[in-house]
Amino acid sequence: MRIHLLGCGTPYSTAERFGSSYVVQVGAEYLMFDCGPSTTSKLVQSGLRPTWVDYLFFTHHHFDHDVDYPCFLLSRWNESIGKENELQVFGPTLTEQLTHRLLDEHDGAFAHDWIARINHPLSLNAHTSRGGTLPRKPPIVRAKDVGPGSVFSGSSWEVTAAPAKHVQPWLDSLAYRLDTEDGSVVVTGDTAPCDTVIELARDVDILISLCVGVQEDFDGTAEAEYMSGSTAVAGVAQAAGAKKLVLVHQAHWLDVPGQTERALRDITRIYDGEVVWGRELMAFDA
């Protein structure tokens, strides 16, 4: 099992981080969690191809977690030669609606693109040059709204979900757990500390969690009530018994000299496992 950190940021763009996205390779299968800004480009920079990803799981539908979805969908379909597996997409409420609004032949915002490409000789030639056969098929994506509990089982892995505490009732949010023969991973998405995420992460090998800042700098604010800072994420990791904590979704103010160190000092005072400060395009074996 190998983990690729594609997007480690927030809605605030910086040169180092922007949005959320992670890929976990399980054997020959690739599972993506969230699809934030520039995910498709970062995927390729990491040595992966869109056509390799057969499963996509959304934690929630803030733009920093899903705005590259149309780009990923169209890129994956455009590179396809018709022999790839159908993409399966899972996420909380709005996942099916969003997919429909992007690709549907009558209502889709990008229907004009794929309709032109399955008909015009220029695009058909490009498709056959890559090894595709005619007639060229429209994009087919199996999207499904899901909730807590079992989400999907692959050949040697299973994904389950639990509620995360974020911006309900406006958007539903989920955390995901991936269990494989070689280990387990939890992706928290955006969440405040909550029992459901702690239970989902019980004894997990790798906990990929947001850390928006040094806790004492924003305690008492709405951000602390609906997100996780340094001591909050450390408390969740310690309570769950996670073996390794990978920090992502770091806010831009943590780039100020000394702030990363403050956050890490907070975390290591509470959590006694291995800590990794996630950076975009970082990859490691589980």
State how far the Cα of 164 lies from the Cα of 197, in Å rounded to an integer: 6
Query: C-alpha angle 236/178/68, rounded to 5°?
Result: 95
Closest of 253, 190, 224 to residue 33, by C-alpha:
190
For the record, the structure tokens of 6 come out as 């594609």
Residue 286, pLDDT above cutoff 90: no
Q: What is the pLDDT of residues 150-189, one digit of tens each?
A: 999 999 999 999 999 999 999 999 999 999 999 999 999 9
**Domain segments of the chain as ranges:** 2-285
Residue 72, pLDDT above cutoff 90: yes
C-alpha radius of gyration, the chain, whole number = 19
Q: Are strands 183-187 and 206-210 parallel, antiparallel or unpaired?
A: parallel
Q: What is the pLDDT of residues 203-230, one digit of tens each?
A: 999 999 999 999 999 899 988 899 999 9
State how far the Cα of 271 lies from the Cα of 211, in Å rounded to an integer: 14
Residue 252, pLDDT above cutoff 90: yes
Model confidence at 138, pLDDT cuts 50, 70, 90, reads very high
Cis, peptide link before residue 169, omega less than 30° from 0: yes
Sign of the alpha-carbon dihedral angle for 87, 9, 191, 240: positive
- 227 contacts 190 by C-beta, under 8 angstroms: yes
In this structure, the number of other CB atoms found within 10 A of the CB of residue 134 comes to 10
| Neighbour-count burial of 224, counting CB atoms closer than 10 A to its CB (0-12 exposed, 13-18 middle, 19+ buried) | buried
Q: Specify the CATH number of the domain 2-285.
A: 3.60.15.10
Beta bridge partners of 177: 160, 186
Q: What is the pLDDT of residues 21-47, one digit of tens each?
A: 999 999 999 999 999 999 999 999 999
